[in-house]
Amino acid sequence: MQLNLTGKTALVTGATGQLGRVIARTLAACGANVALHYISNEAKAMELQREIEAMGRQAVIVQGDITKQDTSFRIRDEIESRLSGVDIVVANAVIQYEWTSVLEQAPEDYVSQFESCVMQSVYLSKAFIPHMQRMRAGRFIGINTECAMQNFAHQSAYTAGKRGMDGVYRVLAKEVGEYQITVNQVAPGWTISERDRISESGHDEAYTRTVPLKRRGEDQEIANVVAFLASDLASFITGAYIPVSGGNVMPAI
């Protein structure tokens, strides 16, 4: 068996980010053509586009604020005109902000997390799910976080946004399942990315002490799970929140 996404078109939001670029490369390596969404880093988007095209895949770059409904519909139309209808959506983009206590966190940070975690997913579903319904097939994948289960100090805005996102995905999975569309979430732990490898900052003893596998995960390990969920091998998995955290969080039954 192999992860074969040949003939599929995938959209990765936040594709120029540390994790997004690895997800995009991995989906392309499995055979998918990829639409690369970015908000401001056009140079990285173009570099990533060239990388994917060098693999023999098609790649297009699309820009815009994915927390706006009109942007999602415009991006859909751009992808359909240049590639095809989207078979795989990976909602990876998230707004960055400084973490602090509930009493000190700016109210606008809660709004930004709600918009980038919850509303991004809502707008993407409105834009891309109807095509999947017509095809009676599709994959809708969100990047959540282990923080949604941990609820540690200074995580309130991020955790609130991601827990809200979790509710949307679970309900959506029930609403579109009859069309053979799967809706799942991948929840990374504290992941080593390209930035960490360059700065050699991938080890943190205090964190890894709590992880059963005694290490931080690699970005490629997260992307591998996304690719699996995007494939036919995961055709009977939906409504799942899947931690990829070395056992650092374990959903209970």
| Residues that are catalytic | 158
Q: Please enumerate in sequence order all residues whose Cβ is within 8 A of that of 45, keeping only pairs 6 or more positions apart, or say none.
A: 15, 16, 36, 38, 61, 63
Phi, psi of 219 (to 5 degrees): -55, -35
Which residue matches tokens 């919850």?
A: 118
Q: Nearest to residue 24, comparing CAs of 208, 213, 230, 170?
A: 230
Determine contact, residues 179/222, Cβ cutoff 8 Å: no
Q: Please enumerate in sequence order all residues whose Cβ is within 8 A of that of 50, keeping only pairs 6 or more positions apart, or say none.
A: none
For residue 47, the tally of other CB atoms under 10 A from its CB is 13
Chain-centroid distance of CA 238 in Å reads: 15
Phi, psi of 41 (to 5 degrees): -90, 75
